Amino acid sequence: MLNQELARFNFHRKIGRVTNPLLWLWRFILKIFAPTSKDIVVLAMHKIGDSVFTVPAIRFLRQRYPESKITVFCYPNNVRVYEYAFGEDVEIVELDPKLFSRGERWAPAEYRKHVQSLKPGKVFDLLGSLKSFSLIFTLPVKHISAITDPMLAGFFDERIYQQDYNTLIDPYLVTVGADPEKDKNLKYFPVRENRNNSVLINPFGGWKAKEWNFVKFIELYKKLQTDYDVTFVFQKGLIKDDILKQLDVEEIKYVESASMDHLFEITDNCGAFISNDTGPLYVANLLGSPTFAIYGPTNPDYTKPLGEEHEYIQKILKCSSKPIEKFCYTYGGRIGCPAFECMNLLSVEIVYNNIIKFLKRNNIAPRNS
């Protein structure tokens, strides 16, 4: 755990010495009025990548409770993730983040009423924040299991802290009662057999420090496109019009994704997906495409797609994250990193050579083969 995270955790734990006894008492009262029910509510209001990481946990719930109705609460952007993973096996409820108050941290009353109307017997909070707590703090329910903050821990029957785990998938599995080792097959998304030979490149990341230089991506594209069908894919609006015009002049193929549905449509069945550490990479993994990831200030062990079809590259420096750390000491390049050297020192030639080997191992055929 980084110093910043540790300080925040310890501060919240001190607050919890006051709040948790009161929360425990409040939960004790609520449980007196809890209905007997087999139904399950899952709170999963995450960003794209984290939504994919919750899929194994919800798989486990679906297998363990085959007769239960499972309702997943998520943001509109991530509905497609759960529709693809589960179809009609789970019910999905969209929550508009703009309707949350106090900096999108507190749920409106109508959302709490919706949760209460379902009368669940179990709730699994996979978010672990004030936002998810605000949905259920008045809910009479027999059992709540959560990834949580230490200042809210007293409210939950079972709780874990995400900081205690060295991957992002495992805390979700433990929260729902799975064993990350015994149930590790749930973490894998099978690669499709009958994919096409297209290669997609996503040049962006969740923040600047996670992005390999865009000019280098252009060079990589030009080297790959001599033999392969290569296309850039990125969110609409991320690249200015004058740069798009230059891509057109240079006859560089690209597609701007206008929505999550569009991203799924673009990515579905592609031969391989190349990307920085960001949500679309994990969508490609979910959809069954081999992925090649470029990591910098984040630790691949926390998030990398699992399976021999997936590969990554990372320049290890003295300041890189340690094995049990999610980020480097600059909090993934967001606090005080002067140069982003872990990304800048990765040359086009090194990345290209590794990708060529990756494509061959995954039987992605060159254009004229």
pLDDT score, position 328: 86
Whether residue 270 contacts residue 257, with contact meaning beta carbons closer than 8 Å, is answered with: no
Q: Which two tokens stand for residue 159?
A: 């709780």
Whether residue 55 contacts residue 25, with contact meaning beta carbons closer than 8 Å, is answered with: no
Q: What is the dihedral of CA 223, 229, 235, 238, to 10 degrees?
A: 30
Whether residue 207 contacts residue 215, with contact meaning beta carbons closer than 8 Å, is answered with: no
Tell me 221's DSSP state.
H
Cα-based angle 299, 300, 302 (whole degrees, multiple of 5): 75
| Total-model pTM | 0.93
CATH topology of domain 198-361: Rossmann fold (3.40.50)
Whether residue 337 contacts residue 321, with contact meaning beta carbons closer than 8 Å, is answered with: no
Q: Which two tokens stand for residue 170?
A: 């495992």
- CA gap 341, 336 in Å, rounded: 13
pLDDT score, position 295: 95
- DSSP, collapsed to helix, strand or coil, labels residue 181 as coil
Closest CA to 145 of 128, 130, 129, 170: 128
Cβ count near 292 (within 10 Å): 25
Whether residue 84 contacts residue 287, with contact meaning beta carbons closer than 8 Å, is answered with: yes
Which positions of the chain have pLDDT values less than 50?
none
Residues of the chain with CATH 3.40.50.2000: 3-187, 198-361
Domain spanning 3-187: which superfamily? Answer: Glycogen Phosphorylase B; (3.40.50.2000)
